[in-house]
Amino acid sequence: MTTNPMARKARNSFLLGVVLMLIIALIVGATFWFLVLKKNDGGISSNEKIVFAFRLKQDVKYGEEITKDMVEAVTISEKVAPAGTFNSKVQDAKTEKWIDSAWTSGYKAKIDLKAGTILGSTLTYTEELGQDIRLTEYNMLTLPTTLDVGNIVDIRLRLGNGTDFIVVSKKYVENVLGDTISLNLSEEEILLMDSAVVEAYLSNTAELYVIQYVDGGMQEAATGNYVPSSDVKNLITNNPNVITEAKTKYTQTSRELIDSGLSDKDSANLETGIKTQVENAKKAREAYLNGLTTY
């Protein structure tokens, strides 16, 4: 029986379309295997460096231990990997293949962490609280308007000559009640704060204030550069609760900078300006807190 030329042409076109679809499917499948499956199997793309990391599967509170059931192994671009990212794979020295690495127990969250966070050394800690750590309250500090529990902060001393010193750095705010702030401080930090408070009161143009980190989890701690008075320095040296490293930390050069700032006490305009600034900051915070209670 003679085949209709139009039917034969339509059948051939259909078969050609099926073949083309199969070829396209094979190409897409091969590309997916090379770019995704092959990466997860330990291969590294030559076009982009990747990092094998651990990611949180759930929210974790400050101080809570992160267990293996809370994390999952993922592959991310090196461009978005945070500093100190923990590796979920290790490379075999002989075969150069990547082998799965188990989550190490004992890590705790430095701050409240959300599900999806890539874990690393900047967000976690393993050491327990030192024997000299105490929950300490202060009500003479100038606080940021929106300061809240869980914020990460530095405490700084600003003097009348424009110099500004970091007294203690990267502290988790344990509690805030009105103008009172609670922090966990070591013996050394308590002594530094005591000295800074005294010096702030000695100078009418000085201010002891709190400043917030934008992203406390990712940002490194600021380096403290405040130097206590000689009396406090002697107390630190002779106090058995203070770590040995603190005994050689302070220099006369930095101390002279502070002394020069304290000598500028006779500027009435500057004194008035500082007092106004502090009062305005207190009023702004009171207004913010009052606004929260209306909801």
pLDDT of 139 = 86
Which fold, 50-125? Type Iii Antifreeze Protein Isoform Hplc 12 (3.90.1210)
pLDDT of 121 = 79
Cα–Cα dist 169/220, whole Å = 10
pLDDT of 40 = 46
Q: Which residues face 183 on adjacent strands?
A: 136, 173
In the chain, which segments carry CATH 3.90.1210.10? 50-125
The secondary structure of residue 34, as a DSSP letter, is I
Give residue 18's identity as a one-letter amino acid code: V
pLDDT of 35 = 56
253, two tokens: 């050069």
Inter-residue contact 227 to 251 (CB < 8 Å): yes
pLDDT of 37 = 47
Query: What string of pLDDT tens digits covers the 295 residues of the chain?
Result: 555 666 666 666 666 777 777 788 777 766 665 555 444 444 444 567 888 899 999 999 888 889 999 999 998 888 888 777 888 887 766 777 778 888 888 888 877 889 999 998 778 877 666 778 888 989 888 899 888 887 889 999 998 888 899 999 988 888 888 888 999 898 889 888 888 888 787 777 888 999 998 877 667 788 889 988 776 677 666 776 654 554 455 455 555 655 666 555 545 555 565 566 567 667 766 776 777 655 4
pLDDT of 229 = 73
Sheet with 180-185: strands ordered across = 134-138, 180-185, 164-177, 152-158, 207-212
Helices and strands (H and E) in the chain: how many: 6, 11
pLDDT of 169 = 92
pLDDT of 278 = 64
pLDDT of 261 = 62
